[in-house]
Amino acid sequence: MKILYLITKSNWGGAQRYVYDLATAFQSKGCNSVVAFGGHGLLEENLHKANIKTVSLNSLVRDISILKEFLVAKEIYSLIKKEKPNIVHLNSSKASGLGALISRILGVKHIIFTIHGAPFREDRNFILKKIIYFLTWITCLLSHTVITVSKQDEVDIGTMFFIKKKLKTIYLGLTYDPPQQRLTPKSKAVRIITVGDLTKNKGHMFALQAIEKLRDDSVPFHYSIIGEGEERKSLEEFIAFKNLGDVVTLLGYQDARSILHEYDLYLLSSVKEGLPYILLEAGKAMLPVVATITGGVPEIIRHEESGLLVQPKDVESLAKELKRLINDRKFGKKLGQELHAHIVQNFSHSKMLVETAKVYGLIQSKVHKVQSP
């Protein structure tokens, strides 16, 4: 069986990691995985290391242009005609709309669309949100199965006409190894970490405003942000204007999974999320978490049981809850332990693969082969 994965960007975010995990896992099970994306980036590099076939679509970019859309459609059409996949698995709104339409035209038997956070929840103007809602609905209509990564997304998408019966929520999952030993000694100054692309959806500016309040209250801490993106210049200017350079460091992109255990506290300040992998990683590292209520975050974090939750853009509450955990490390340790137990039980890599295999029809086909004479 050949599976074609299509995603807009080839950077390394949550959706890209999802594609990587599925493509490598199913190829190891005997399927033929092909991954197509726009541009070149870490997703491509990581897939090459795993010996997965990749295709870079030169015209596929995030920005919308009529000429570009025509060229992208032509590239996707040629790709599907050449590869003849049994399954087309679509990820990210831009690539998915064209991918679903062209897959239908070419008669692909199984078109799957995974929604990594309802795109119409993004912080945009009213008219643009309605347009995005309509385009998401069309993509869902053209797809045979729609996977949501959180129950909140299932609720949001389930209100669309004729879509509810196509929906299936499959949680993201991790593999769980023994906890890594911390090398950096703990100190009075709490080390706070955020990981995410430097985009408006991640709410970094609200995090920095909360950090400014902590600094002004003389709370001992240091805050680091791992990630790159178009908001970097604005964040640097804010840090400089508010004289936060002594307590804030922009670390650029790096693989945070191997260093999270060296920090004391995780902050997620997003205004829009699906089900963020990084919160699972924070729980794996047993970090106490302060996070905003968006998308599937409350399905990972239970307020005052496995973390602390605040409303998006609520700078005062972000600062208050951060200060609370800085001043009460014993409470923070308890939250980190509870979060770890919750994700180990409910967010398993193997369960994600089994549930996705059911959507692909792989498990049913194997049972059928066993029963056949």
Residue 336 is assigned to a structural domain of this protein: yes
Percent of the chain at pLDDT > 90 equals 82
The pair of structure tokens assigned to 69 is 């859309």
On whether the pTM is more than 0.95, the answer is no
Residue 167 has pLDDT above 50, yes or no: yes
Question: d(Cα 268, Cα 356) in Å, to the nearest integer?
Answer: 28
| C-beta of residue 282 within 8 angstroms of C-beta of residue 210 | no
Mean pLDDT, all residues of the chain: 92
Expressed in percent and rounded to 5, the helix, strand and coil fractions of the chain are 50, 20, 30
356 and 331 within one domain: no
Question: d(Cα 265, Cα 14) in Å, to the nearest integer?
Answer: 20
Residue 293 is assigned to a structural domain of this protein: yes
128 and 198 within one domain: no
The parent domain of residue 231 ranges over 190-346
At 68 the pLDDT is 74
Domain count, the chain: 2
At 205 the pLDDT is 98
Which is nearest to 143 in space by CA: 121, 111, 189, 118?
111
The pair of structure tokens assigned to 160 is 């669309």
> SS3 sequence, 202-214?
HCHHHHHHHHHHH
At 137 the pLDDT is 97
Highest mean pLDDT of the ranges 116-120, 154-158, 180-184, 256-260: 154-158
Question: pLDDT grade, residue 364 (50/70/90)?
Answer: low
7 and 93 within one domain: yes
Element (H, E) at 157: helix 151-158
287 and 331 within one domain: yes
Question: d(Cα 363, Cα 295) in Å, to the nearest integer?
Answer: 30
At 373 the pLDDT is 30
Neighbours of 109 (CB within 10 A): 11
364 and 256 within one domain: no
Percent of the chain at pLDDT > 70 equals 95
Residue 369 has pLDDT above 60, yes or no: no
pLDDT tens for 188-226 read 899 999 999 999 999 999 999 999 999 999 999 999 999
225 and 113 within one domain: no
241 and 104 within one domain: no
The pair of structure tokens assigned to 190 is 């709490």
Helix, coil or strand: residue 82:
helix
135 and 237 within one domain: no
pLDDT tens for 304-340 read 999 999 999 999 999 999 999 999 999 999 999 999 9
Question: In CATH, what number is assigned to the domain containing residue 279?
Answer: 3.40.50.2000
Residue 288 has pLDDT above 70, yes or no: yes
Q: Which residue has the tokens 């970097």?
A: 232
Which is nearest to 93 in space by CA: 152, 10, 20, 7?
7
Residue 370 has pLDDT above 90, yes or no: no
pLDDT tens for 80-139 read 999 999 999 999 887 899 999 999 999 999 999 999 988 888 778 889 889 999 999 999
Question: pLDDT grade, residue 17 (50/70/90)?
Answer: very high
